[in-house]
């Protein structure tokens, strides 16, 4: 085996861990079955966790460790481990997309029931189409984004190091598991309250230290002197975030830290100072009557939506800076469409991918299926269904690339899928209103677009991470695509049940 880095013959050419001229077992039945088992378990667990706590946990690391441990016992290869991990992680991506949208059909009253007969096939169809489109969309731009030096892919680098450590012998694996153990101990001590991962302290500055926020009889906000100091929580110590910071480097870590300082050190206190009693109209529910609660509400309902807008603008700019590589990738895709079968060039193993003819054909099939599904969801409103399907295709491709770009910078664990969902809802809703589509059929069409785009974006980000791991390890892209397509269909078929049970 080779080492990941730069080829000595060509300093600009990436040298994967498994050389491109080396053939070894990769897409095997045991690797795929192991991956499918993990994707079902990890997908269902993340769906439950997401509905209960509002967050999902990246499945890349547990899938990598479990796949490595089991396949090493069967004398499997590192590329088999990669296929198992690739198949095993996609369930978490599907769950992250489904939990933000599917329950909205029931909450909004579009669906009268979430029973098996009424909701299973519609839920499964939307999740399946969205997840398959996520695989296909990111396949079109995979090469340019995976090879972009500006995208550090922190979780992909970490996952690839897990696989490589298992192949370098006991010494490398020892350091890996020592670090896993130390991180786990720090987290456990913090959860039990033995180690202070969060430091709470008190201070008073002028009037701030002698006032308390209380609501008046008409819902107005009053400042009442108390003589007590205000309590402020310091940043928490997270082993996971420390590890991500180490991987992505000083520049990107500084940018993320600057974003936190800008939000909590500038925007939150600025809005609280200047808006005062007027904050009530921007915060749903009851206004908190303490400074910490009020600051959290300002961040949640005002500052965070501003951050979502900044995220979209920043992602669009990142894609603009990558326009040459993305254009080259799409040009290659359309050139492949025009080329006959006998004219296909001979590619090295690490450059073999699913034919773009097949990719575009599957996108067309998904579009037709989605048109039929939207007609059913929108209660026979053909106009709304066709518009929704077109919007889904265009917006879905854009947000799939945005999601992939974000995962390349901050990892899939921090991928703001909820922000992408809100943006999709706004775009689809404004378009439906402009076209005069309203009522329950319009709501159903908008939610249908959001469901497909949300799942597609989440899966696209997760798959791009898997492509990057394969790129580092020397996996075959075509086999990774095949494993992902099988896994997303299996995960989609079972995703209804954890949603239903919760």
Region for 198 from its dihedrals, namely left if φ exceeds 0, alpha if ψ lies in -120 to 50, beta otherwise: beta
Identify whether the C-beta of residue 16 lies closer than 8 Å to the C-beta of residue 474.
yes
pLDDT higher for 98 or 422? 98
Closest by CA position to 76, among listed 8, 35, 24: 24
Q: Kindly state the average pLDDT of the residues 192-218.
A: 49
pLDDT higher for 56 or 292? 292
Closest by CA position to 355, among listed 340, 374, 366: 340
DSSP 49-84: HHHHHS-----HHHHHHHHHHHHHHTT--HHHHHHH
Identify whether the C-beta of residue 26 lies closer than 8 Å to the C-beta of residue 77.
yes
Tens digit of each residue's pLDDT (9 = 90 or more) over 275-296: 877 777 778 777 777 777 888 8
Q: Kindly state the average pLDDT of the residues 469-483.
A: 89
Q: Kindly state the average pLDDT of the residues 460-489.
A: 89
From 250-259, 306-315, 336-345, 466-475, the region with the lowest mean pLDDT: 336-345
Whether residue 2 has pLDDT greater than 50: no
Q: Kindly state the average pLDDT of the residues 309-323.
A: 71
Identify whether the C-beta of residue 2 lies closer than 8 Å to the C-beta of residue 18.
yes
Alpha helices in 205-238 (DSSP H): none
- What is the pLDDT at residue 252? 67
- What is the pLDDT at residue 206? 44
Tens digit of each residue's pLDDT (9 = 90 or more) over 224-250: 444 444 445 555 556 666 665 665 567
Whether residue 470 has pLDDT greater than 80: yes
Q: Kindly state the average pLDDT of the residues 40-69.
A: 78
From 193-197, 358-362, 375-379, the region with the lowest mean pLDDT: 193-197
* DSSP 8-state code for residue 280: G
**Which pLDDT band, with edges at 50, 70 and 90, does 33 fall under?**
very high
Give, for 320, the enclosing helix (H) or strand (E): helix 304-321
Q: Which of 9-13, 111-115, 215-219, 229-233 has the highest mean pLDDT?
A: 111-115
**Which pLDDT band, with edges at 50, 70 and 90, does 204 fall under?**
very low
Half-sphere exposure of 82 (CA within 13 A, CB side): 35
Calculate the average pLDDT of the chain: 76
Region for 223 from its dihedrals, namely left if φ exceeds 0, alpha if ψ lies in -120 to 50, beta otherwise: beta
- What is the pLDDT at residue 222? 47
DSSP 423-443: HHHHHHHHHHHHTT--HHHHH
Whether residue 460 has pLDDT greater than 90: no
Per-residue tokens: 109: 């009253």
How far is it, in rounded angstroms, from Cα 354 to Cα 340?
Answer: 15
Per-residue tokens: 215: 């609501």
Considering the chain, what percentage of its residues have pLDDT values greater than 90? Answer: 7
Whether residue 312 has pLDDT greater than 80: no
Residue 395, φ and ψ in degrees, nearest 5: -65, -35
How far is it, in rounded angstroms, from Cα 468 to Cα 157?
Answer: 8
Tens digit of each residue's pLDDT (9 = 90 or more) over 398-450: 888 888 877 777 666 666 666 777 777 777 777 777 766 667 777 877 888 88
From 10-14, 36-40, 298-302, 430-434, the region with the lowest mean pLDDT: 10-14
- What is the pLDDT at residue 6? 44
- What is the pLDDT at residue 246? 65
- What is the pLDDT at residue 31? 92
- What is the pLDDT at residue 487? 92
Neighbour-count burial of 72, counting CB atoms closer than 10 A to its CB (0-12 exposed, 13-18 middle, 19+ buried): middle
Tell how far CA 365 is from the center of its chain: 25
Whether residue 210 has pLDDT greater than 60: no
- What is the pLDDT at residue 349? 79
Whether residue 269 has pLDDT greater than 50: yes
Q: Are strands 14-15 and 200-203 parallel, antiparallel or unpaired?
A: unpaired
Largest CA distance in the chain: 83
CA distances from 422 to 100, 213, 308, 419 (A): 10, 31, 9, 5
Classified as helix, coil or strand, 6 is strand
Classified as helix, coil or strand, 214 is strand
Whether residue 202 has pLDDT greater than 60: no
Tens digit of each residue's pLDDT (9 = 90 or more) over 106-156: 888 878 788 888 888 888 988 999 899 989 988 888 877 787 777 788 788
């Amino acid at each position: 085996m080779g080492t990941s880095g730069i080829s000595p013959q060509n300093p600009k050419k990436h040298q994967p861990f498994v050389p491109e001229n080396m053939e070894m077992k990769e897409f095997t039945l045991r690797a795929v079955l192991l991956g499918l088992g993990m994707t079902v378990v990890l997908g269902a667990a993340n769906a439950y966790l997401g509905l209960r706590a509002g967050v999902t946990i990246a499945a890349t690391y547990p899938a990598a460790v479990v796949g490595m441990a089991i396949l090493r016992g069967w004398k499997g290869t590192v590329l088999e481990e990669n296929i198992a991990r690739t198949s095993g992680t996609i369930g978490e991506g599907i769950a992250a997309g489904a939990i933000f949208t599917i329950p909205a059909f029931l909450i909004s009253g579009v669906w009268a029931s979430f029973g098996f007969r009424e909701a299973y096939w519609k839920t499964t169809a939307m999740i399946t189409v969205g997840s398959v489109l996520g695989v296909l969309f990111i396949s079109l731009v995979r090469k340019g984004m995976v090879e972009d030096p500006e995208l550090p892919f922190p979780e992909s680098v970490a996952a690839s190091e897990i696989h490589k450590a298992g192949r370098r012998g006991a010494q490398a694996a020892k350091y890996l598991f020592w670090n896993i153990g130390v991180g786990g101990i720090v987290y456990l001590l913090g959860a039990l309250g033995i180690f202070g991962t969060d430091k709470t302290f008190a201070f008073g500055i002028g009037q701030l230290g002698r006032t308390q926020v209380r609501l008046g009889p008409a819902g107005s906000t009053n400042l009442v002197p108390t003589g007590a100091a205000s309590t402020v929580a310091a940043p928490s110590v997270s082993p996971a975030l420390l590890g991500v910071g180490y991987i992505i480097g000083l520049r990107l870590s500084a940018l993320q830290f600057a974003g936190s300082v800008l939000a909590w050190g500038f925007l939150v206190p600025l809005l609280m100072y200047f808006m005062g009693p007027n904050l009530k109209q921007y915060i749903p529910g009851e206004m908190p009557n303490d400074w910490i609660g009020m600051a959290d509400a300002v961040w949640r309902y005002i500052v965070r939506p501003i951050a979502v807008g900044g995220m979209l603008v920043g992602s669009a700019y990142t894609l603009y800076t990558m326009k040459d590589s993305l254009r080259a990738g799409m040009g290659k895709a359309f050139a492949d469409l025009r080329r006959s079968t006998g004219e296909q060039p001979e590619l090295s193993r690490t450059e073999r991918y699913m034919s773009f003819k097949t990719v575009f054909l599957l996108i067309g099939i998904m579009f037709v299926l989605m048109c039929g599904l939207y007609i059913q969801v929108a209660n026979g409103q053909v106009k709304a269904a066709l518009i929704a399907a077109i919007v889904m295709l265009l917006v879905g491709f854009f947000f799939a690339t945005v999601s992939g770009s974000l995962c390349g910078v901050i990892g899939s664990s921090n991928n703001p899928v909820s922000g992408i969902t809100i943006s999709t809802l706004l775009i689809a809703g404004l378009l439906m209103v402009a076209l005069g589509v309203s009522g329950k059929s319009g709501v159903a069409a908008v939610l249908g677009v959001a469901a497909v785009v949300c799942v597609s974006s989440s899966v696209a980000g997760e798959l791009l991470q898997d492509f990057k791991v394969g790129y580092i390890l020397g996996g075959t892209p075509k086999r990774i695509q095949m494993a992902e397509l099988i896994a997303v269909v299996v995960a989609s078929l079972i995703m209804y049940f954890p949603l239903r049970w919760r």
